[in-house]
Structure 1
Amino acid sequence: MTKPSLTAEASAIPRPEHPRPDWQRPDWLNLNGTWSFRFEPIGEGAGTSREDGEAKDFPERIKVPFSWSSPLSSIGNNKAGIGWYRRTVTWHPEASGSRIFLHFGAVDYQCDVWVNGVHTGSHRGGYGNFEFEVTDCWDADGENTILVRAEDADGDDQARGKQGYGEIRGIWQPVWLEARPQSYVQDAKFRTSLDGQVEVTARILAKEPSAAKLALRFQDGAVEHTEELTLVAGENTIRTSFQVAEPRLWSPETPHLYEGELRLTAASGEDAVATYFGIREIGTARFGQRDYRWITLNGKPIYLNGTLDQSFHPTGYFTYPTDEDMRDEIFLMKRLGLNFARIHIKPEEPRKLYWADKLGLLIMQDMPCFWGEPGESARTAYESEAREVIERDYNHPSIFSWIMFNETWGLKSGKAAGSLTGDESGNMNYLPETQEWVQRIYRWAKETDPTRLVEDNSACNWDHVETDLNTWHFYLNGYEKVREHVGKVVESTHPGSTFNYIGGRMQTDAPLMNSECGNVWGIEHSAGDSDLAWHYHYMLNEFRRHDKMCGFVFTEFRDVTNEFNGYYRLDGTEKDFGYGEFVPGMTLADLHAPDFIVIDAPPSQTVAAGAKVSVPLLRSSFSDRHHGRTLNLVWELWHDDLGVRVVADRGERGVAWEDYGVAELATLEIAMPKQDVVAVLALRLVAEGGETVSRNFVAFDVRGDGTVPDSAGVHTVNVPVGSFAQQTFALQWESIQGAKASGAGAGAFAYEVRLPEREEMALIGDIEIAFEAGAKRVLARNLEGVKTSDHGIGYMHGASANVEYNPNTYYMTDEIRHESKVTVCIDGEPVGSVHLPDDPADARGILSWHYQPVDNRLDEAGSYGYLCRIKVPGRIAAKLDRSRNFRLELRAGEGGLALYGRNAGRYPLDIQVRCR
């Protein structure tokens, strides 16, 4: 078979844009695209491949910049080993006498490069960028052969991060050539102040001594500064500063960037670098009489609504397929009302950081961890990568925090040297000497970058040593458990407390923040793929109750291979949280509003019909936008009466919005409806002019005496969904303590119904049948039984999971629909049918959440159906008037059928036969 032409294939360049908008020269060549490739297991034929590479193409074709394990690479080999890359390039700089540099965004892990047979350099580390000067071996008038050897051995001492979702192997960020004059600017750091003062530290590499000029020009010339220089041969460190008049500050709401260039003019020519900076200050401060700090942005408190971003793509793995994909990631977060993301156990690609800068999203950036023990080689490798990352990303205004370690991964030692299983009991220890090393790393990072907050270890084992942020992780399910846990953490957090610290160290007044939370791991066998809307709503209410808390990180932005707790599916499709049905217009963004009304109560309560209920309220303000004003609290108590929205009570009152933080508001006193309903108290905080600032809600299962009150001339017969006399499904089961009956595939439930006797109702004129039903999507566990897997260290590495077997799985409502149809028959004759659009589960399934018997075991939690109403034709009603009993059949198509009774689903009703 004839191999495809490498030249032809290379014409289609993936990721063609410049990889570094924060540091971009005009004369460059993108080397992404098709390279010839050969994979070798470690230890086999390394020398042979290099010799072959000088003479001919390798046998395979790979798409750079995608990891050789990823589908987009066209290789799809997940094995560790050696990847050989070869590319022939013809290119010459625009200016004669230019120096030529070959730049790699990142290569995992050990990389060696030859150009035209000359070894140009080596690099070790999987996440940092690096470059080699290739001027002396480059043929500007002919073809040049670039040969790359990348070895990834998955060593225990490698800073690998969380690659298990899809391995980073070999070249995984863009490769490019760049021309520079003989003297050039190696890098520059911008340090900004709120008054507009900008300090610049630049490194200039000069070929020879000369006079020079460094000009800085931004904002189309509105900001200019020039520095006269005398350069020495070699490295020159230049420190200068300038003033920006009337500075525009960078924030997620106003992400203003001062875009422009640095231009070095020397005897050897001009070096122009396009770059930018944002004026902003990150810090912490005490406010009022508090003995604890809040996180501040530009001198003001900011509440951090964030998500854990695994930064994983199903086809490119940790390399995004396109620039649009990276930009859209930021947009998808911001549309939810989030203002920051924690990039998990890896530094982010510079191009995505650019979009965070440009569109306005704060970034908490993790360093990659190693998975072995904290020996000398691991520490050396880690320190090298951390240094590269901070140097590369220093100028991104979006980055507000560095997280040096996560959950003590890589920091625990076994009793025996080199043991990963620990002592005879399997214990691993976070040794005092390792704690001291982590403390040194924290202090080194603070010295290297004093402009940002630094976290020693994003803690899940109560083991901080020294940190700017007092963070913790938790994964719990159930309102009472979450409330108790968060309350205990807040109460235990104060200066001098040893809580959440290790080795006898004590807390300072550092801000308290959650840096991982969610119910994905808070449930036996993990949450599977289930509704998270209910849990998310009450968890955020609990967070906002506490004045001391400064924010949270929700796990996670997208579903991944074994965690299905994302706001979005892995492919970016949406999940439906259902909040808009409780309060018109409500979305996730309402729970992330800086100005928020907290409902200090359970998400749902059982109350008696007609009871008076007190609802405690708090105000939580982390914005000064409305300070000094009176906002209106508008409330409405409503319920659904067989498809009709009935408002039982409504009102509004003014709320003085005067200061930051959390404060009590007057309790709301409301009277419940006098019948069985699910009542919803919907709240809106409204500003002058009618703008809704935020929305919230709480639900009540209102219970009467168990009967359905009849209106004039109407009698209702209740038929419990589990009282069927016969069913014909191939697979049938009950759930939610018997309140829900399900049948898979085509089949029917049959009920014997007795209508009111003539003494109760002399004449039956009309009959309506009402019930709640949904389709029934059959899972593997329904057919084969539950299968659970061990959640060991493999899950932390991203081992895949088949959620169809998980006992807690019930797919949350999303863009994928599972449809069915239910036909209602009376004594075998069809009288009507209803299309069932889906088998949904989200916050609207109030009763399916309210009656869960165990918090950490989900029994079809959040599932609900659609209100179905069938009017019986008069000719059949006439027959039933005579007989006063009939056989009711609910027949399902191939999509199956789920019937919801009084204590399940969305509506508090069994099957109702309403006669009038």
Structure 2
Amino acid sequence: MSVAETCQSLEKQIPRSEYPRPDWQRNDWLNLNGSWDFMFDSEDKGNNEEWYLAGCPTFAQQIHVPFSWVSPLSGIGQDVKGIAWYSRNVRWAPKQQESRVFLRFGAVDYRCDLWVNQILIGTHEGGYGAFEFDVTDVWNHEEDNRIVVRVQDDDEAYQTRGKQGYGEIRGIWQTVWLESRPQNYVASARFYTCIDGSVEITGTVQSHRPVGAVLRFFFDNGVVDHRLKLELSEGINQFRTSFQVDSPNLWSTESPYLYEGTVELESETAISGNDTISTYFGIREIGTAKFDGRDHKWITLNGKPVFLNGTLDQSFIPDGYFTFPSEDYIRDEIWRLKRLGLNFVRIHIKPEEPRKLYWADKLGVLVMEDMPCFWGEPDERARDAYEREAKEIIQRDFNHPSIISWVVFNETWGLFTKDTKDKRKYLPETQEWVRSVYKWAKQEDPTRLIEDNSPCNYDHVESDLNTWHFYLNGYEAVRSHVQEVVDKTYVGSDFNYIGGNLQTDAPLMNSECGAVWGIEGSAGDSDLAWHYRYMINEFRRHDKMCGFIFTEFHDVINEFNGYYRMDRQEKDFGYSSFCSDMSLRDLHSPDFIVIDAPPCRTVLPGQAVEVPLLASSYSDRYHGQTLQLKWEVYYDNFGDKAIAGTETVNMEWNGYGVRPLQELQLTMPQVDAVAVLTVVLQTLEGTVIARNFITFDVRSGHSNGIYAMEGEWLSVRPAAYTSSQWEYEWKALDDHKVNGASTGFFEYDIALPEGIRNASVNDIEVIFEAGAKAVLGKDKEMIAYKPSDISYMHGAKMDPGMNINSYFMSDESCHPSYVDVLVDGEPIRTICLQDDPADSRGVLSWHYQSNDRKLEEAGSYGYLQRICIPSRLTARIIEKNSFTLRLSVPEGTSEGEGGIAIYGRNTGRYPIDIIIRWK
């Protein structure tokens, strides 16, 4: 559905009509999403002219709440900072006449002033926290009520903006609703759970008058039925109570069991009414611990080690920006995480909206939630704004069992102070403030892991997690960097800490990684699969490592390194072409086989090769069992699978962490080939637990190559064409690959050996690897695009095809091309090249990259073509010992299609040039 169609649909229905807080839900409520009157106030006239009064000017526009006025789905779609006004007339009465009426806001960015029936009710500041106003005294039950909201968002340096640059969240951007409550009601409740089934609850009750009451906790159809007698005084009353759940069902990612039920306040006087809240809790514990005599800690879930396979989630939606268009979309976001085999997500520099946290609770995904940062300096106003909002966030989200960690700052953003020389410094006094925030958060929520700062500058102060960020490309760079970090991680080390602070035994994990920023001008839109696989192997080979957070879940405006496209279209990592049925899930298995070797290395035909393996286990599911390790070496022999070696061995699978296995002794094929080693961990019954693979470029060095095929052959380099004509034409990868875009041809004059005349030749075949050629902006302009300032990280919009490193990763979109094959001017075949792909199958295009920090058509590959020359032409070719081969894309090719890429020996998927074979 297009944005216009979606907006028309929103005019006819209530967007986001579901109750926004399933973790704390009352039944008597009214959703106020939908169409509101709206008007910008660029000159700030509204207050002076009293636009909140009944006779104020009619607001000229209509906006779809709850979408930011910048987003397309709002119906406004203008990135205007400053002031805007909303108004709406509402007639609604609570079911119980004596109930109190609250007007609630999921989130408004940034300052919000509320009038109801011309009366100023209150003001709130902060872009992410939920808030509410008691409007009982001004609410008319029998008449229309006029609600007026003034919002001011000036992007002030002190504002807790977080990372909004992909699309601003100005104005109302989460659900607005009315809600009734009895005169005495439960204002809050926090559930503290232990895996022995003990549950402690603290909270507050708001009482309109002194009265006796009973607070009842009823969950899981009566499994929990606990009552607490209260003597309430007027105002806020605090309470604390506890109960025991026998034989508790623990919440985990594999079994996200929720105890669903109600909290009910039963007052002794009928006029007060009863307050009933539908809610839930999960019994789980997050912690850290040492195991099996190790001197380092691991992260634990329910007392057992857990390896956090995670991703960074910007929560950005192309049309709604940071507001999801529907609950189905939200639920599917969590399913998309689960289907990758991920068990963990970091919500980046913002709290997630409650409905998404609910689905993380419901479906079982662990969540690390960030506090939104400010972008100015850490002055008193910024600190006050930050602390106020952080408190709101923890208060709102405390009961979600999925949340296991709070990150209070990210990459020292907002923590630098400029000196007189205009240099930024992370001052000692700021470090102490960060420590105080960490300690406050730890006191506010002792049940979760608190991180002081998710660092890219090695500047922890005090933290429950010892994390770091890195963005590097290239196997050797990643391997040496991770090894260095592991080696420097021990109690008392000053590495990764600042200001004289030292490492404790906080567990080590990565909190941002990937190949997007470790490349000149960023990676653009390019293959992730190659880098991702060896990076995961490097993480899993270290016993100290407790997890990682890959940047990122899905593409955003200027970062194209997600598992999914920005529109949630799937990318093709290509793993199953190497190892049957392998997917990303295999790399995220708690029980895993590490191949401790490069993703590809050059070897000789028949060479003996040793490959170290490691067992990595962060689950006790198979401990004490005998498992099978099945390995196989094979190569693609021009479309047929040729097996060079295979074996299945049994082994005992015991203990957490990483341990070495027996090295594999392999013998490489006797021919030029891309050989593949696959390893499969499975049960004795054949149930696959995890898969992995690496590759080898088996290279003979013979000018024509040595291949396992009948007859004789010669090889012609793709760049050795004798003539060509294209709209766009260029060579790549040290001239081993040639590209012709749009329409045109490459023509080769092929000279055959003299001896062929005397041979009995019946067939001549042309073999080559080719793909279509989707032309990118950089290909047309042949210019480099390199962003130079922070605005790019904030979401500066750019054509991904203009990035010097882009070669679009394979996905569901194809760019086919039809190529005519001509021999001596006669057409003999038209071939359809399905796409212009780039993923892990482009082994040689990755293996022969000359510069890891500047990619050149990395991961690109084509499709194997085998074309027999018709017998009517064979005799003539033999007679003259030559022929002319033309690969032509004719005119008339539609826009976005056409062209050809021809791959040579050091590029693509197959270690061949253009081969002419005869027999």
TM-score normalized with structure 1 length: 0.97
Contact 2:637/2:708 (<8 A) preserved = no
Residues 257-656 of structure 1 mapped to structure 2, 5 A cutoff: 257-266=258-267, 267=269, 268-416=272-420, 423=421, 426-656=422-652
1:753 aligns with 2:750: yes
Q: Tell me the residue number matched to 1:205.
A: 206
Contact 1:598/1:620 (<8 A) preserved = yes
2: CA distance between counterparts of 1:118 and 1:548? Answer: 60
Q: Secondary structure at the match of 1:391?
A: helix
Contact 1:53/1:147 (<8 A) preserved = no
1:188 aligns with 2:189: yes
Provide, for residues 480-530 of structure 1, a one-character-per-residue CA deviation record: whole Å limited to 9, x for no partner. Answer: 000010000000000000000000110000000100000000101111111
1: CA distance between counterparts of 2:9 and 2:619? Answer: 56
1: CA distance between counterparts of 2:788 and 2:199? Answer: 50
Which of 892, 902, 906 is equivalent to 2:905? 902
Contact 2:87/2:147 (<8 A) preserved = yes
Contact 1:608/1:704 (<8 A) preserved = yes
| Aligned-pair CA distance for 1:540 | 0.5
2: CA distance between counterparts of 1:208 and 1:852? Answer: 75
In terms of mean alpha carbon deviation, does 829-838 or 493-502 score higher? Answer: 829-838
1:776 aligns with 2:773: yes
| Aligned-pair CA distance for 1:708 | 3.7
1: CA distance between counterparts of 2:587 and 2:791? Answer: 34
| Aligned-pair CA distance for 1:831 | 1.1
The structure-2 alpha-carbon separation of the partners of 1:133 and 1:493, relative to structure 1 and needing over 3 Å to count, comes to: same
The structure-2 alpha-carbon separation of the partners of 1:8 and 1:692, relative to structure 1 and needing over 3 Å to count, comes to: closer
Q: Secondary structure at the match of 1:909?
A: coil
Q: Tell me the residue number matched to 1:671.
A: 667
1: CA distance between counterparts of 2:819 and 2:259? Answer: 61
| Aligned-pair CA distance for 1:636 | 0.8
Contact 2:756/2:878 (<8 A) preserved = no
Q: Secondary structure at the match of 2:694?
A: strand
Q: Secondary structure at the match of 1:508?
A: coil
| Aligned-pair CA distance for 1:915 | 0.6
1: CA distance between counterparts of 2:547 and 2:426? Answer: 27
Q: Tell me the residue number matched to 2:680.
A: 684
Q: State the one-letter code of the partner of 2:833.
A: L
Q: Secondary structure at the match of 2:877?
A: helix
Contact 1:54/1:117 (<8 A) preserved = no
Q: State the one-letter code of the partner of 1:610.
A: G
Contact 1:162/1:796 (<8 A) preserved = no
Contact 1:53/1:86 (<8 A) preserved = no
1: CA distance between counterparts of 2:821 and 2:499? Answer: 69
Contact 1:495/1:508 (<8 A) preserved = yes
Contact 2:107/2:129 (<8 A) preserved = yes
2: CA distance between counterparts of 1:782 and 1:806? Answer: 10
Q: Tell me the residue number matched to 2:3.
A: none
2: CA distance between counterparts of 1:760 and 1:705? Answer: 28
1: CA distance between counterparts of 2:509 and 2:10? Answer: 49
Q: Tell me the residue number matched to 2:111.
A: 110
The structure-2 alpha-carbon separation of the partners of 1:711 and 1:251, relative to structure 1 and needing over 3 Å to count, comes to: closer
Q: State the one-letter code of the partner of 1:590.
A: D
Q: State the one-letter code of the partner of 1:15.
A: R
Residues 10-25 of structure 1 mapped to structure 2, 5 A cutoff: 12-25=13-26
In terms of mean alpha carbon deviation, does 629-638 or 757-766 score higher? Answer: 757-766
Q: Tell me the residue number matched to 1:3.
A: none
The structure-2 alpha-carbon separation of the partners of 1:586 and 1:710, relative to structure 1 and needing over 3 Å to count, comes to: closer
Provide, for residues 111-166 of structure 1, a one-character-per-residue CA deviation record: whole Å limited to 9, x for no partner. Answer: 11011011111111111011111111010011100010111010000010001100
2: CA distance between counterparts of 1:522 and 1:289? Answer: 37
In terms of mean alpha carbon deviation, does 899-908 or 723-732 score higher? Answer: 723-732
2: CA distance between counterparts of 1:23 and 1:503? Answer: 42
2: CA distance between counterparts of 1:54 and 1:123? Answer: 25
| Aligned-pair CA distance for 1:458 | 0.1
Q: Tell me the residue number matched to 2:64.
A: 63
Provide, for residues 715-764 of structure 1, a one-character-per-residue CA deviation record: whole Å limited to 9, x for no partner. Answer: 11211111100111122111011110110111111111122323685121
Q: Tell me the residue number matched to 2:916.
A: 913
- Ranges in structure 1 where 5+ consecutive residues have no aligned partner: 1-5, 417-422
Q: Secondary structure at the match of 2:713?
A: strand
Q: Tell me the residue number matched to 1:101.
A: 102
Q: Tell me the residue number matched to 1:809.
A: 806
In terms of mean alpha carbon deviation, does 695-704 or 881-890 score higher? Answer: 881-890
1:125 aligns with 2:155: no
In terms of mean alpha carbon deviation, does 754-763 or 313-322 score higher? Answer: 754-763
Contact 1:52/1:58 (<8 A) preserved = no
| Aligned-pair CA distance for 1:779 | 1.1
Q: Tell me the residue number matched to 1:877.
A: 874
Q: Tell me the residue number matched to 1:154.
A: 155
Residues 833-844 of structure 1 mapped to structure 2, 5 A cutoff: 833-844=830-841
| Aligned-pair CA distance for 1:10 | 6.6
| Aligned-pair CA distance for 1:709 | 4.0
Q: Tell me the residue number matched to 1:419.
A: none
How many residue pairs match? The answer is 903
| Aligned-pair CA distance for 1:655 | 2.2
Q: Tell me the residue number matched to 1:787.
A: 784
| Aligned-pair CA distance for 1:231 | 1.0
Q: State the one-letter code of the partner of 1:234.
A: G
2: CA distance between counterparts of 1:535 and 1:15? Answer: 39
2: CA distance between counterparts of 1:791 and 1:452? Answer: 38
Q: State the one-letter code of the partner of 1:500.
A: N
Q: Secondary structure at the match of 1:486?
A: helix
Q: Secondary structure at the match of 1:745?
A: strand
1: CA distance between counterparts of 2:616 and 2:584? Answer: 17
Q: State the one-letter code of the partner of 1:914.
A: R
Contact 1:715/1:756 (<8 A) preserved = no
RMSD of aligned alpha carbons: 1.5
1: CA distance between counterparts of 2:250 and 2:154? Answer: 45
Provide, for residues 860-911 of structure 1, a one-character-per-residue CA deviation record: whole Å limited to 9, x for no partner. Answer: 0000000011111111112212222111111124410000011100001111
Provide, for residues 388-416 of structure 1, a one-character-per-residue CA deviation record: whole Å limited to 9, x for no partner. Answer: 00000000000000000000000000114
2: CA distance between counterparts of 1:436 and 1:710? Answer: 67
Q: Tell me the residue number matched to 2:825.
A: 828
In terms of mean alpha carbon deviation, does 125-134 or 708-717 score higher? Answer: 708-717
Q: State the one-letter code of the partner of 1:622.
A: Y
Q: Tell me the residue number matched to 2:763.
A: 766
The structure-2 alpha-carbon separation of the partners of 1:335 and 1:9, relative to structure 1 and needing over 3 Å to count, comes to: closer
- Ranges in structure 2 where 5+ consecutive residues have no aligned partner: 1-6
Provide, for residues 60-102 of structure 1, a one-character-per-residue CA deviation record: whole Å limited to 9, x for no partner. Answer: 0000001111111101111111110001001001111111000
Q: Tell me the residue number matched to 1:240.
A: 241
Which of 731, 736, 744 is equivalent to 2:733? 736
TM-score normalized with structure 2 length: 0.97
The structure-2 alpha-carbon separation of the partners of 1:151 and 1:488, relative to structure 1 and needing over 3 Å to count, comes to: same
Provide, for residues 535-594 of structure 1, a one-character-per-residue CA deviation record: whole Å limited to 9, x for no partner. Answer: 001100001010000000000001111111100000000110000001000001111101
Which of 718, 722, 725 is equivalent to 1:725? 722
Q: Secondary structure at the match of 1:139?
A: coil
The structure-2 alpha-carbon separation of the partners of 1:288 and 1:761, relative to structure 1 and needing over 3 Å to count, comes to: farther
Q: Tell me the residue number matched to 1:420.
A: none
